[in-house]
């Protein structure tokens, strides 16, 4: 089964085209090697998936070419213990330290600009 189709069925990506773009862009590694969207995945393969700020390290348990409910999708893979610990640590870090630019959306307003200038002095 194609890796992009499996990633879509396992609900790592919302659409198959997003899964294809991620694999093509190097966001997915199969058995510690870069891969192409047409590459076949089989049970026992290790995948490293990066989707935005979230990273997963999973082992493929089963194959499915149909996208089903999330509880069924979770049966297709098993996340490694190191991956779980890393994601929880990242979540804790985000809760404790907010990103400074998280509140700024798009181009600064005139008021934002004045605050930036005051801060720079």
Q: Residue 88: pLDDT band by 50, 70, 90 thresholds?
A: very high
**Three-state DSSP class for residue 64:** coil
Element (H, E) at 11: none
Tell me: the pLDDT tens digits for 102-120? 676 788 889 988 988 888 7
Tell me: the pLDDT tens digits for 45-74? 999 999 888 899 999 999 988 999 999 999
Quote the pTM value.
0.77
The tokens for 34 are 């870069």
User: Which DSSP letter does residue 67 get?
Assistant: -
């Amino acid at each position: 089964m194609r890796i992009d189709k499996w990633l879509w069925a396992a609900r790592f990506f919302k659409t198959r085209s997003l899964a294809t773009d991620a694999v093509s862009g190097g966001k997915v590694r199969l058995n510690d090697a870069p891969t192409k969207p047409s590459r076949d995945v089989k049970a026992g393969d290790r995948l490293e998936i990066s989707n935005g700020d979230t990273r997963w390290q999973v082992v493929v348990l089963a194959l499915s070419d149909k996208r089903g409910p999330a509880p069924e999708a979770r049966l297709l893979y098993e996340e490694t213990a190191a991956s779980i610990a890393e994601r929880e640590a990242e979540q804790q870090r985000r809760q404790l330290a907010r990103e400074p630019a998280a509140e700024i959306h798009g181009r600064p307003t005139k008021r934002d600009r004045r605050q930036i200038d005051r801060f720079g002095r």
